[in-house]
Amino acid sequence: MESTSSIKDLYKYLEFNSDKKITLIPTMGNLHKGHLKLIEKAPANTIKIVSIYINKLQFNNSNDYDCYPKTINSDIAKCQVHNVDMVFMPDESFAKSLNEYKDIHLPKFMNCLCGETRDGHFIGVYKIIRNLFDMIKPNYACFGLKDFQQLLLVKFVASKYFPNLDIIEVKTIRNKEKIALSSRLNRLDKKSLVRAESIFFSLKSIRQKIIDGADFNTVKEEEIQKLESKSISVEYLEHRMNSSLDVAKGDISNSSLFIACYINNVRLIDNIQI
């Protein structure tokens, strides 16, 4: 396995391997089983490139950025075990190239959920994703369904600028308590982790009630109260259609429940398909 923080070296590596197909797995490091699943989903006979870059532009909260876990040595070791071919870990100077993208118009569906509550977040994601795709020109790129709205943005960018790029969607990996894996879980103590178990159970309970014919808004208020009684502060809890992110109505077979909440100042998101 090779690794570099130099853009020049990355280009040399790409040129040397120009006859091969590439799968890109973009990450911010602190790799957990969710990331490893993304790596596993890279099609066989493609070169696997994992990028590791904590993209300041997508953090709307500087404390969240400062606290983001950095575990580069163990990340590299995990990549090695998972047969990654190249780890690209640009340094801070990479930020300059991200700012070349101007006049960014995100589609309407980026204005809700995290787009509404995290000012500038998706512009930051847009810039890094487009830049990585521009540089590496992958044939495939893997993204997790946990970040559902991000996945829609990635698909939008791919369809607009990279018609030959296949986006591989990877299902959310949960621990045995059903908490969706996230690097931010490392910042929770044992007690808070137990509280985090309620998030998925809450989503499951709402799903069942909706399927049984209950009104979402009524059920939502009840569940928010339950979560808040466990000191989980709900930022949003919404029921939206999968492809447009419009508020769900009519045939809801293609819809999902989306939640963002805080436990001990740590922001977690999750979603569940109806």
136 binds ligand PAF (CB under 6 A): no
Applying CB under 6 A, does 150 fall inside the site for ligand PAF?
Answer: yes
Q: Which is nearer to ligand PAF, 75 or 147 (CB)?
A: 147
Distance CA 32, CA 36 (A): 6
Q: Where are the alpha helices (DSSP H) in 187-245?
A: 190-211, 216-229
Q: How far apart are CA 82 and CA 48, in angstroms?
A: 10
Which one of the spans 23-31, 79-87, 186-194, 210-218 is the region binding ligand PAF (CB under 6 A)? Answer: 23-31
Q: What's the full length of the chain, in residues?
A: 274
Q: Is 125 in the site for ligand PAF (CB under 6 A)?
A: yes
Whether 105 is catalytic: no
The CA R_g of the chain, rounded to the nearest whole Å, is 19
Between 13 and 133, CB nearer to ligand PAF:
133
Stretch of 20-28, 94-102, 189-197, 257-265 lying at the interface with ligand PAF (CB under 6 A): 20-28
Binding residue (CB under 6 A) for ligand PAF from 55, 131, 198, 256: 55
**Is residue 55 exposed (0-12), middle (13-18) or buried (19+ Cβ within 10 Å)?**
buried
Distance of closest approach, residue 185 Cβ to ligand PAF, in angstroms:
14
CB 23, CB 139: distance < 8 Å? yes
Bridge partners (DSSP) of residue 87 are 3, 50
Options 32, 35, 121, 239, the catalytic residue = 35
28 binds ligand PAF (CB under 6 A): yes
